[in-house]
Amino acid sequence: MKLTIKDIARLAGVSTATVSMVINKKDERISAETKKRVLEVIEEYNYVPNRVASSMVTKNTKSLGLVLPDIANPFFPGLARGVEDRANKDNWNIILCNSDNDADKENRYLEMLQEKMVDGIILTSAKQDLSKASVLKKISVPIVTLDRDINDVQHVGLVKTDNVKGAYDAVRHMLDRGYRKILHLSGPLSVYTAQSRYKGYLQAYADSGVKHPKEDVFQGSFSYESGYTMTNALLEKGIEFDGLFCGNDLMAFGALKALAEHDICVPEVGVVGFDDIYFSALITPPLTTVHQPVYEMGYMAADVLINYIKGENKMKGKKMEFVLNLNTELVVRNTTR
Ligand code: RIB
Protein backbone atom coordinates (compact mmCIF):
# COMPACT_ATOMS: atom_id res chain seq x y z
CA MET A 1 0.00 0.00 0.00
CA LYS A 2 1.37 3.46 -0.92
CA LEU A 3 1.90 5.53 2.24
CA THR A 4 0.96 9.21 2.28
CA ILE A 5 2.66 12.08 4.10
CA LYS A 6 -0.08 11.79 6.73
CA ASP A 7 0.90 8.14 7.44
CA ILE A 8 4.55 9.12 7.84
CA ALA A 9 3.61 11.95 10.20
CA ARG A 10 1.47 9.61 12.32
CA LEU A 11 4.18 6.93 12.45
CA ALA A 12 6.82 9.48 13.42
CA GLY A 13 4.53 11.25 15.88
CA VAL A 14 4.90 14.66 14.20
CA SER A 15 2.78 16.98 12.03
CA THR A 16 2.63 16.67 8.23
CA ALA A 17 4.22 20.14 8.08
CA THR A 18 7.27 18.76 9.95
CA VAL A 19 7.55 15.85 7.52
CA SER A 20 7.27 18.26 4.58
CA MET A 21 10.04 20.49 5.98
CA VAL A 22 12.34 17.50 6.44
CA ILE A 23 11.63 16.23 2.89
CA ASN A 24 12.23 19.67 1.37
CA LYS A 25 15.37 20.26 3.46
CA LYS A 26 13.80 23.35 5.07
CA ASP A 27 14.34 21.80 8.50
CA GLU A 28 16.61 24.37 10.16
CA ARG A 29 14.13 24.82 13.02
CA ILE A 30 13.54 21.07 13.60
CA SER A 31 15.51 19.28 16.32
CA ALA A 32 18.08 16.74 15.19
CA GLU A 33 16.21 14.04 17.13
CA THR A 34 12.88 14.73 15.40
CA LYS A 35 14.54 14.95 11.98
CA LYS A 36 16.30 11.62 12.63
CA ARG A 37 13.00 9.97 13.63
CA VAL A 38 11.21 11.23 10.50
CA LEU A 39 14.06 10.09 8.22
CA GLU A 40 14.07 6.65 9.90
CA VAL A 41 10.32 6.21 9.25
CA ILE A 42 10.75 7.37 5.60
CA GLU A 43 13.60 4.88 5.17
CA GLU A 44 11.77 2.04 6.91
CA TYR A 45 8.64 2.40 4.77
CA ASN A 46 10.49 3.37 1.54
CA TYR A 47 8.30 6.48 1.33
CA VAL A 48 8.59 8.55 -1.88
CA PRO A 49 6.89 11.99 -1.80
CA ASN A 50 4.03 12.36 -4.30
CA ARG A 51 5.00 15.54 -6.15
CA VAL A 52 1.73 15.73 -8.08
CA ALA A 53 -0.36 15.47 -4.90
CA SER A 54 1.73 18.11 -3.10
CA SER A 55 1.55 20.35 -6.15
CA MET A 56 -2.25 20.34 -5.91
CA VAL A 57 -1.82 21.95 -2.47
CA THR A 58 1.18 24.22 -3.00
CA LYS A 59 0.25 24.94 -6.63
CA ASN A 60 3.82 24.27 -7.66
CA THR A 61 5.74 21.18 -8.62
CA LYS A 62 9.22 22.71 -8.11
CA SER A 63 10.07 21.70 -11.65
CA LEU A 64 11.19 23.57 -14.75
CA GLY A 65 10.84 22.61 -18.39
CA LEU A 66 13.99 23.02 -20.50
CA VAL A 67 13.46 22.91 -24.28
CA LEU A 68 16.67 22.74 -26.37
CA PRO A 69 16.99 22.41 -30.17
CA ASP A 70 19.81 19.85 -30.55
CA ILE A 71 21.27 17.92 -27.62
CA ALA A 72 23.68 16.16 -30.01
CA ASN A 73 25.53 19.49 -30.36
CA PRO A 74 27.96 19.73 -27.38
CA PHE A 75 26.99 23.38 -26.89
CA PHE A 76 23.54 22.50 -25.53
CA PRO A 77 24.44 19.94 -22.83
CA GLY A 78 26.63 22.73 -21.43
CA LEU A 79 23.55 24.95 -21.12
CA ALA A 80 21.57 22.09 -19.55
CA ARG A 81 24.32 21.50 -16.98
CA GLY A 82 24.11 25.10 -15.79
CA VAL A 83 20.30 25.01 -15.64
CA GLU A 84 20.29 21.72 -13.72
CA ASP A 85 22.89 22.79 -11.16
CA ARG A 86 20.96 25.97 -10.33
CA ALA A 87 17.65 24.09 -10.11
CA ASN A 88 19.08 21.33 -7.92
CA LYS A 89 20.48 23.96 -5.53
CA ASP A 90 16.84 24.59 -4.46
CA ASN A 91 15.78 20.94 -4.87
CA TRP A 92 13.97 21.76 -8.13
CA ASN A 93 13.82 19.29 -10.99
CA ILE A 94 14.28 19.70 -14.73
CA ILE A 95 12.30 18.09 -17.55
CA LEU A 96 14.63 18.17 -20.58
CA CYS A 97 13.06 18.23 -24.07
CA ASN A 98 14.97 18.03 -27.36
CA SER A 99 13.08 19.67 -30.25
CA ASP A 100 15.49 18.56 -33.01
CA ASN A 101 15.25 22.11 -34.43
CA ASP A 102 11.64 21.24 -35.33
CA ALA A 103 9.03 23.91 -34.48
CA ASP A 104 6.16 21.38 -34.45
CA LYS A 105 8.02 19.09 -32.05
CA GLU A 106 8.84 22.15 -29.94
CA ASN A 107 5.12 22.97 -29.76
CA ARG A 108 4.27 19.42 -28.70
CA TYR A 109 6.81 19.59 -25.90
CA LEU A 110 5.55 22.98 -24.72
CA GLU A 111 2.01 21.58 -24.49
CA MET A 112 3.29 18.53 -22.58
CA LEU A 113 5.17 20.76 -20.11
CA GLN A 114 2.00 22.81 -19.51
CA GLU A 115 0.08 19.56 -18.81
CA LYS A 116 2.83 18.40 -16.45
CA MET A 117 2.30 21.64 -14.51
CA VAL A 118 5.93 22.75 -14.54
CA ASP A 119 6.39 26.05 -12.72
CA GLY A 120 8.35 27.70 -15.53
CA ILE A 121 9.98 27.02 -18.89
CA ILE A 122 13.43 27.82 -20.24
CA LEU A 123 13.34 27.84 -24.03
CA THR A 124 16.05 27.85 -26.67
CA SER A 125 13.78 27.98 -29.67
CA ALA A 126 14.21 26.21 -33.00
CA LYS A 127 13.61 29.52 -34.75
CA GLN A 128 12.98 33.18 -33.99
CA ASP A 129 9.86 33.94 -35.99
CA LEU A 130 7.43 31.59 -34.31
CA SER A 131 4.54 30.70 -36.56
CA LYS A 132 1.05 31.74 -35.58
CA ALA A 133 0.60 28.04 -34.73
CA SER A 134 3.00 28.49 -31.84
CA VAL A 135 1.47 27.35 -28.58
CA LEU A 136 3.61 29.80 -26.58
CA LYS A 137 0.75 32.30 -26.30
CA LYS A 138 -1.29 29.61 -24.51
CA ILE A 139 1.45 28.86 -22.00
CA SER A 140 0.42 30.25 -18.62
CA VAL A 141 3.72 29.73 -16.79
CA PRO A 142 6.63 32.21 -16.96
CA ILE A 143 9.15 31.69 -19.78
CA VAL A 144 12.80 32.70 -19.97
CA THR A 145 14.40 32.48 -23.40
CA LEU A 146 17.99 31.30 -23.36
CA ASP A 147 20.68 31.98 -25.99
CA ARG A 148 18.13 32.64 -28.76
CA ASP A 149 15.49 35.35 -28.51
CA ILE A 150 12.05 34.95 -30.06
CA ASN A 151 9.64 37.58 -31.34
CA ASP A 152 6.41 38.95 -29.82
CA VAL A 153 5.98 36.59 -26.91
CA GLN A 154 5.41 37.67 -23.32
CA HIS A 155 8.45 36.17 -21.71
CA VAL A 156 9.92 37.29 -18.43
CA GLY A 157 13.40 37.60 -19.79
CA LEU A 158 16.25 36.59 -22.05
CA VAL A 159 19.72 35.32 -21.18
CA LYS A 160 22.16 35.38 -24.10
CA THR A 161 25.62 36.48 -25.14
CA ASP A 162 26.51 39.46 -27.29
CA ASN A 163 26.61 37.54 -30.58
CA VAL A 164 27.09 40.66 -32.70
CA LYS A 165 30.20 41.69 -30.77
CA GLY A 166 31.52 38.12 -30.67
CA ALA A 167 31.31 37.88 -34.46
CA TYR A 168 32.69 41.40 -34.86
CA ASP A 169 35.77 40.56 -32.77
CA ALA A 170 36.36 37.33 -34.74
CA VAL A 171 36.22 39.00 -38.15
CA ARG A 172 38.25 42.03 -37.05
CA HIS A 173 40.89 39.58 -35.82
CA MET A 174 40.96 37.91 -39.25
CA LEU A 175 41.14 41.25 -41.06
CA ASP A 176 43.92 42.41 -38.75
CA ARG A 177 45.82 39.20 -39.57
CA GLY A 178 45.67 40.09 -43.28
CA TYR A 179 42.76 37.92 -44.44
CA ARG A 180 40.71 39.78 -47.03
CA LYS A 181 38.23 37.42 -48.71
CA ILE A 182 36.51 36.07 -45.59
CA LEU A 183 33.27 34.19 -46.28
CA HIS A 184 30.66 33.63 -43.57
CA LEU A 185 29.29 30.08 -43.27
CA SER A 186 26.25 30.97 -41.17
CA GLY A 187 23.77 28.99 -39.13
CA PRO A 188 20.11 29.07 -40.21
CA LEU A 189 19.30 32.78 -40.68
CA SER A 190 15.84 32.07 -39.21
CA VAL A 191 17.66 31.72 -35.86
CA TYR A 192 18.40 34.79 -33.72
CA THR A 193 22.05 33.90 -33.04
CA ALA A 194 22.86 33.24 -36.70
CA GLN A 195 21.32 36.58 -37.72
CA SER A 196 23.29 38.41 -35.01
CA ARG A 197 26.58 36.86 -36.06
CA TYR A 198 26.05 37.85 -39.68
CA LYS A 199 25.41 41.42 -38.49
CA GLY A 200 28.71 41.37 -36.57
CA TYR A 201 30.52 40.03 -39.67
CA LEU A 202 29.20 42.91 -41.79
CA GLN A 203 29.96 45.54 -39.14
CA ALA A 204 33.56 44.33 -38.83
CA TYR A 205 34.09 44.73 -42.58
CA ALA A 206 32.34 48.12 -42.61
CA ASP A 207 34.48 49.48 -39.75
CA SER A 208 37.70 48.14 -41.27
CA GLY A 209 37.23 49.92 -44.62
CA VAL A 210 37.94 46.64 -46.43
CA LYS A 211 35.37 45.75 -49.09
CA HIS A 212 33.62 42.49 -48.17
CA PRO A 213 33.22 39.76 -50.81
CA LYS A 214 30.18 40.22 -53.06
CA GLU A 215 28.94 36.72 -52.20
CA ASP A 216 29.69 36.90 -48.48
CA VAL A 217 27.32 34.58 -46.62
CA PHE A 218 26.39 30.94 -47.18
CA GLN A 219 23.61 29.56 -44.98
CA GLY A 220 24.19 26.25 -43.16
CA SER A 221 22.52 24.43 -40.27
CA PHE A 222 24.96 24.74 -37.34
CA SER A 223 26.11 21.18 -38.17
CA TYR A 224 29.44 19.52 -39.03
CA GLU A 225 27.91 18.21 -42.25
CA SER A 226 26.83 21.65 -43.45
CA GLY A 227 30.30 23.11 -42.82
CA TYR A 228 31.89 20.24 -44.74
CA THR A 229 29.42 20.27 -47.64
CA MET A 230 29.43 24.06 -48.08
CA THR A 231 33.23 24.29 -48.06
CA ASN A 232 33.47 21.54 -50.68
CA ALA A 233 30.88 23.35 -52.79
CA LEU A 234 32.84 26.64 -52.58
CA LEU A 235 36.04 24.87 -53.68
CA GLU A 236 34.34 22.97 -56.49
CA LYS A 237 32.71 26.18 -57.80
CA GLY A 238 36.07 27.96 -57.61
CA ILE A 239 34.69 30.68 -55.31
CA GLU A 240 37.75 32.52 -54.01
CA PHE A 241 38.33 32.96 -50.29
CA ASP A 242 41.25 33.17 -47.86
CA GLY A 243 39.19 32.93 -44.68
CA LEU A 244 36.06 31.23 -43.33
CA PHE A 245 34.14 32.68 -40.37
CA CYS A 246 31.83 29.83 -39.31
CA GLY A 247 28.53 30.19 -37.40
CA ASN A 248 29.63 27.62 -34.81
CA ASP A 249 32.46 25.20 -34.01
CA LEU A 250 30.79 22.15 -35.56
CA MET A 251 30.61 23.93 -38.93
CA ALA A 252 34.26 24.99 -38.53
CA PHE A 253 35.24 21.34 -37.92
CA GLY A 254 33.48 20.37 -41.16
CA ALA A 255 35.21 23.19 -43.06
CA LEU A 256 38.63 22.10 -41.73
CA LYS A 257 37.97 18.54 -42.93
CA ALA A 258 37.06 19.71 -46.43
CA LEU A 259 40.12 22.01 -46.62
CA ALA A 260 42.39 19.16 -45.49
CA GLU A 261 40.92 16.83 -48.15
CA HIS A 262 41.84 19.45 -50.76
CA ASP A 263 45.39 19.82 -49.30
CA ILE A 264 44.66 23.46 -48.44
CA CYS A 265 46.93 24.70 -45.63
CA VAL A 266 45.42 26.19 -42.48
CA PRO A 267 46.11 28.90 -41.28
CA GLU A 268 47.18 29.94 -44.82
CA VAL A 269 43.43 29.91 -45.19
CA GLY A 270 42.02 31.12 -41.87
CA VAL A 271 39.14 29.37 -40.10
CA VAL A 272 37.27 30.69 -37.06
CA GLY A 273 34.35 29.08 -35.23
CA PHE A 274 31.90 30.16 -32.50
CA ASP A 275 31.02 28.52 -29.12
CA ASP A 276 34.42 27.16 -27.96
CA ILE A 277 32.99 23.71 -27.26
CA TYR A 278 35.22 21.21 -25.44
CA PHE A 279 36.76 19.67 -28.61
CA SER A 280 37.85 22.99 -30.16
CA ALA A 281 41.07 23.08 -28.13
CA LEU A 282 41.75 19.36 -28.72
CA ILE A 283 41.55 19.08 -32.52
CA THR A 284 44.63 19.55 -34.76
CA PRO A 285 45.14 22.40 -35.43
CA PRO A 286 43.31 23.76 -32.35
CA LEU A 287 40.47 26.05 -33.45
CA THR A 288 40.40 29.82 -33.13
CA THR A 289 36.90 30.54 -31.93
CA VAL A 290 34.58 32.74 -29.86
CA HIS A 291 34.03 31.48 -26.33
CA GLN A 292 30.46 31.54 -25.00
CA PRO A 293 30.11 31.17 -21.17
CA VAL A 294 27.64 28.34 -21.72
CA TYR A 295 27.43 27.05 -18.13
CA GLU A 296 26.83 30.55 -16.75
CA MET A 297 24.15 31.20 -19.39
CA GLY A 298 22.21 28.14 -18.27
CA TYR A 299 22.76 28.83 -14.57
CA MET A 300 21.65 32.47 -14.85
CA ALA A 301 18.52 31.54 -16.85
CA ALA A 302 17.41 29.10 -14.14
CA ASP A 303 18.34 31.55 -11.38
CA VAL A 304 16.26 34.36 -12.83
CA LEU A 305 13.30 32.10 -13.51
CA ILE A 306 13.27 30.40 -10.09
CA ASN A 307 13.56 33.76 -8.29
CA TYR A 308 10.79 35.18 -10.47
CA ILE A 309 8.53 32.21 -9.66
CA LYS A 310 9.31 32.52 -5.94
CA GLY A 311 8.41 36.21 -6.23
CA GLU A 312 11.86 37.24 -5.04
CA ASN A 313 12.35 39.59 -7.95
CA LYS A 314 9.46 41.68 -6.56
CA MET A 315 8.19 41.49 -10.14
CA LYS A 316 5.80 38.57 -9.64
CA GLY A 317 2.95 38.78 -12.09
CA LYS A 318 4.43 41.68 -14.01
CA LYS A 319 6.00 41.44 -17.46
CA MET A 320 9.66 41.61 -16.58
CA GLU A 321 11.53 43.09 -19.46
CA PHE A 322 15.17 42.23 -18.88
CA VAL A 323 18.03 40.98 -20.94
CA LEU A 324 21.15 39.44 -19.46
CA ASN A 325 23.77 39.97 -22.15
CA LEU A 326 26.88 38.01 -21.19
CA ASN A 327 30.25 38.70 -22.80
CA THR A 328 31.93 36.45 -25.33
CA GLU A 329 35.71 36.15 -25.63
CA LEU A 330 37.82 35.61 -28.76
CA VAL A 331 40.15 32.63 -28.21
CA VAL A 332 43.01 32.75 -30.72
CA ARG A 333 44.51 29.31 -31.42
CA ASN A 334 46.14 27.84 -34.54
CA THR A 335 43.57 28.13 -37.34
CA THR A 336 44.40 31.79 -37.90
CA ARG A 337 47.80 33.44 -38.47
O1 RIB B 1 26.08 25.52 -31.92
C2 RIB B 1 24.72 25.87 -31.91
C3 RIB B 1 24.55 27.34 -31.94
O4 RIB B 1 23.18 27.62 -31.76
C5 RIB B 1 25.32 27.99 -30.82
O6 RIB B 1 26.25 28.91 -31.36
C7 RIB B 1 24.29 28.63 -29.95
O8 RIB B 1 24.53 30.02 -29.76
C9 RIB B 1 22.98 28.33 -30.58
O10 RIB B 1 22.25 29.48 -30.92
Helix H, strand E, coil C: the string for 192-257 is HHHHHHHHHHHHHHHHHCCCCCCCCEEECCCCHHHHHHHHHHHHHHCCCCCEEEECCHHHHHHHHH
Closest-CA residue to 142 (of 163, 120, 126, 161): 120
pLDDT, one tens digit per residue, over 296-317 is: 999 999 999 999 888 855 554 5
Confidence band, pLDDT 50/70/90 cuts, at residue 198: very high
| C-alpha of residue 189 to centroid of ligand 1, in Å | 12
The response to whether residue 274 sits with its C-beta less than 6 Å from ligand 1 reads yes
pLDDT, one tens digit per residue, over 43-53 is: 998 888 776 66
- Kindly report the pTM of this predicted structure: 0.84
The response to whether residue 303 sits with its C-beta less than 6 Å from ligand 1 reads no
| C-alpha of residue 280 to centroid of ligand 1, in Å | 14
pLDDT, one tens digit per residue, over 70-115 is: 999 999 999 999 999 999 999 999 999 999 999 899 999 999 999 9
| Model pLDDT, residue 53 | 63
Cα angle vertex 148, ends 207, 168, to 5°? 15
Is pLDDT above 60 for 56? no
Closest-CA residue to 286 (of 319, 256, 316): 256
Q: 60 with 119: CB under 8 angstroms?
A: yes
pLDDT, one tens digit per residue, over 18-44 is: 998 898 888 888 999 999 999 999 999
